[in-house]
Every structure is written in structure tokens, then in C-alpha cells.
A and B are shown apart, each in its own frame.
Chain A
């Protein structure tokens, strides 16, 4: 079952913060986050592990909710380069990676 992301789309001004949510039907072992720009392949941003450890981007962080069935991605002080479509890829401890529905983010000057 495909993970559901919210919001579907968001528009920000440069310097503003954003939160993107990712919901799964199962408790999660980890969550990958990717950003895809138009016409390009997805690029790995960060991974959130079940113990809360994060590996990846400086200005981007993530968290789990209590039941570890939802993850949120936090974009701080957004830059124009943050524009793109964000995908979560939750994992329940298997080698099967299903991409979320995606969130289109546009940062305006």
C-alpha cells in the first residue's frame, strides 16, 4: 500500500519553514526522504532511523510520531533550491522500498 503524503503541494517564500508528512499503514523501521527536480532523477536527502538517528542534510530534519507510523520532514529557512517534489520512502525492515504519493514544493523569491 502506497504511503500517503500531505500536503500534496505547498508554496513558500524564501526563508519560510515547511513540514511534509508521510503516513504508513505499518510501524516503521526507517524512512528515506528524496527530492526530485523536474526532468531529473530523485536525490537522496536523508534517512530517519527507528531510534531517531538521522543521517543526511544539514537544514533538513525529520521525526516519527509516537506509533512510528507517521514521519514528518522539516525544511528550515527554505531556499529557492528547495523547490521540487519530495517523496518519503518508509521501510518496515524489509528490502522493499515503496515511494510515497509525493509533495510538490515551490519556493518563491
Chain B
């Protein structure tokens, strides 16, 4: 299965700034996804990163706040823009090679906004 390198692993950011999280997959994958997870909670899907087209966002998430890039089949970035303390969370990227295969996850980015 694919291996995903995600960075940074953690960061502490000032409110009003932006942070870009990167995910690199060691093989070409069809689908990449971005999730957010609060401590003790389930994962919440932010968006699906589509190669060659705009990302598809879930309800409650907008492109201006969470712009996503997917320039090729092995790489994606998520930017958390104009951050506030409410954006403090763990952000995870994941990838799948098809609907009948499991997802692989990056190790996560623990973001703290102060």
C-alpha cells in the first residue's frame, strides 16, 4: 500500500497567519482526501483533492479558508488560512487507489493557533 509523508508534523502559529501542510505519496494514487480531527473525536472530511481540477469541499468548509492544491497524482497541499484558535486541530491527509482499497494516512499535522 502507499506510504504518505506529511509535513510539518506540528506547528504553533499566530492567529491571522496561514499554514500550508504538504503530503507526498510514494506512488500515484487516484484519490486524496483531507481530514480534521479534534482530540477524542472522529475524523471530519474537509475536502477531496482532485488532480487537475478544483477540490470538492464538504459542508462547512470553503475554498477561501482551506485552499487545496493537487498538481499531480502523488502530491497535495492544504492551506489553513487566516487562522484562529478554533482551527487548532490535527489535520490528516489520506490516499486511496480505488474504492475497494483501504486508505493510507499521513502521520498528521498537529496545529495550535495562539
Contact = CB atoms under 8 A, between A and B. Distances in A.
Interface of A: 2, 29-30, 32, 34, 40-47, 49, 55-56, 87, 89, 91, 93, 95-102
Contacts of B100: 30, 47, 49, 55
Nearest to B108: A41
B112 to A, nearest CB: 15
A32 B103 contact: yes
Contacts of A89: 103
B6 to A, nearest CB: 9
A96 B48 contact: yes
B102 interface: yes
A96 B33 CA distance: 9
A30 B99 contact: yes
Contacts of B48: 95-96
Interface centre among B35, B44, B92, B100 (most CB of A within 10 A): B100
Interface of B: 1, 31, 33, 35, 41-45, 48, 92, 96, 99-108
Contacts of A43: 105
Nearest to A94: B99
A32 B102 CA distance: 7
A87 B43 CA distance: 9
Given A41-B106, A42-B92, A44-B102, 18 more contacts: A32-B102, A34-B102, A34-B103, A41-B92, A42-B105, A44-B103, A46-B102, A87-B42, A93-B99, A95-B48, A95-B99, A97-B45, A97-B96, A97-B103, A99-B44, A100-B42, A101-B42, A102-B42
A56 B45 contact: no
Contact of A95 (B31, B92, B106): B31
**4 closest Cβ contacts across the A-B interface?**
A44-B102, A41-B105, A99-B43, A102-B42
A45 B103 CA distance: 10
